[in-house]
Amino acid sequence: MQIKLSDTPGVAPVSRVTQALPTVRVADTVQDVDFRFNQFIKGQDYLAQVMSRADPRHFNVEVGGTLLKMDLGSQARVGQNLTLRFLDETPTPTFQLMSSLTAEAEPDIALSSAARLIDSKLQEAQKQGVPTRFEATGIVSQSPQAPQQMAQDLKQALTLTGLFYESHLKSFAEGGRPLAAILQEPQNQPNSNAGTMLLPQQLSVLENSRVNWRGEVWPGQQMNWSVEVQQQTQQSQQQAQASSASIAQTAQAQAFNQPSPLQQSMLPNPALNQPLLYQPPSVPVEQRGNQQDTATDHATAQLDYEPEVSSELTLDLPQLGRVSARLRVVNGHMSIQLQAQQIDTLQTMRARRHQLFEALEQSGQTIDALVVVRDGE
C-alpha cells in the first residue's frame, strides 16, 4: 500500500489508500529473451554462427539476431556456421543441431543400410568387370524370317532381362502380372547372382532412361539394341505443338491432292539423301468438304503428348554389311532412318523403300517419314 502523510505535524486522518502495482524494469533481459524466443517457430531450421567462446564447453551463438549461450562441446570453433532446428521454448529453450558447414571440415555423412548395400554390390560388380550394357547369354529367336514372331521374341528377351524386376514385382503385387512370369526372371533362378550382376545396369537405366542390349538375335547373328524414353520439357512440348500444326497443314494439302511445304521439303532427292514420303491417293471432290475440320481436330488431339520413345539397332550382316535402323515414336507417329555402310546395300534399300513404307502402314503403323542414308552421313 501507499500511504500519503499530511504536510503538517500532528494527528490527521489517513487519506485515500491505493493498491501498489508491480513495476517492470525497462529492457529487462529475461523479458527480452522470452520475447525473442516467441518469434521462433517450432520445427523450423535457422542458420546460426558461433561468435565467441564463453567457457571450455559453452559458446555464444547468434541465432536470428539473438545471442544465446549454448553447450556445443569441444568440437565447435569460433566462426563456425550451424543449422539449428528450434524444438521448444519451455522449460528451457531447446535447439537441435542439424548440420555444421565449415570450410575447414567436411560434414559427416551417414549412409542408410540400403545405401550401404547398394554400395557394396556396386563395388563387387566393379571387381567382376560388369558392364553397364546388358549382355544377353541366349539366342533371342529361331525365326528371323517371321517378323511378327521375331518382334515377340525381342519383346520377351528385353522383358526377361531382369532389369525391370522390381517394377514387375510391383505389378505382380497389384495383380497385373502372373507369378509364373516373375519366376522366369534371372533373380529367381537357382544359385543366381543376378542381384549383383544387374545392379549397375539397373542404376544406369534409372539414371538415363535408356536400355542398352547386346546379344545373339538369331543363330550366328549379333545385334546391338538400345531403347530410350525421353520425358518432354516445356521447350519440347512447344516444338511438338508446332509439329502438330505442320501435320494439320499436311493433311489439308493432301485433301486437295497438293504437296504441303513439309512434303515439298522431303521429296526424294538422291543427291541430298532426303527422305521419301508416301503419297496417298487423291481425294474425290465430293469428299473434300470435311477434310479441313478433320485436320484441325487431328492437330488438337496431338496437344496431349506422350513421352517420346526412340530405338536404335545395328546389325553386321554377312552380305549387306553393317545396317542400322533408328526409330522415333511420338504419340503413335513413327519416323525411321535406315543407314547402310555399303553402296550396293544403300541402293537396294532406296529402291525398295516404297515397299517398306507401304508394308509398315499396312501393319497398322503411322509413318511420318522414312529416310535412307549412308552410314556416317
Residue spans of alpha helices (H) in 9-164:
29-37, 113-127, 147-159
Pairing of strands 333-340, 366-374: parallel
- C-alpha span between 350 and 193 (Å, rounded): 47
- Secondary structure (H, E, C), 247-293: HHHHHHHHHCCCCCHHHHCCCCECCCCECCCCCCCCCCHHHCCCHHH
Q: Over the stretch 336-346, which tens digit does the pLDDT of each residue have?
A: 999 999 999 99
Instruction: Tell me the average pLDDT across 351-358.
Output: 92
DSSP, res 186: G
Cα 306 from Cα 232, distance rounded (Å)? 8
Determine the residue type at 246: S
Q: pLDDT per residue over 236-252, tens digit each?
A: 555 555 554 554 454 45
Average per-residue pLDDT in the chain? Answer: 74
- Given a cut of 90, whether residue 374 has pLDDT beyond it is yes
Instruction: List, for residues 174-194, the tens digit of each pLDDT value.
Output: 999 999 999 999 999 998 888
Would the pTM of this model clear 0.85, i.e. be above it?
no
Report the range out of 130-134, 232-236, 271-275, 283-287 with the highest average pLDDT.
130-134
Binned at pLDDT 50, 70 and 90, residue 16 comes out as low
Residues 138-179: tens digit of each pLDDT = 999 998 899 889 999 999 999 999 999 999 999 999 999 999
DSSP string, 329-354: EETTEEEEEEEESSHHHHHHHHHTHH
Mean pLDDT along residues 299-319: 79
Q: Which residues contact 200 (CB under 8 A, 6 or more apart)?
A: 122, 125, 126, 130, 131, 132
* Residue 31, pLDDT above cutoff 80: no
On the question of pLDDT at 289 being above 70, the answer is no
Looking at residue 131, the DSSP 8-state letter turns out to be: -
Count CB-CB contacts under 10 A for residue 250. 19
pLDDT for 356 beyond 50: yes
Within 66-127, residue ranges assigned H as helices are: 113-127
SS3 content of the chain, % helix, strand, coil (to 5): 35, 25, 40
CA distances from 372 to 118, 227, 325, 362 (A): 44, 21, 9, 20
pLDDT at 323: 97
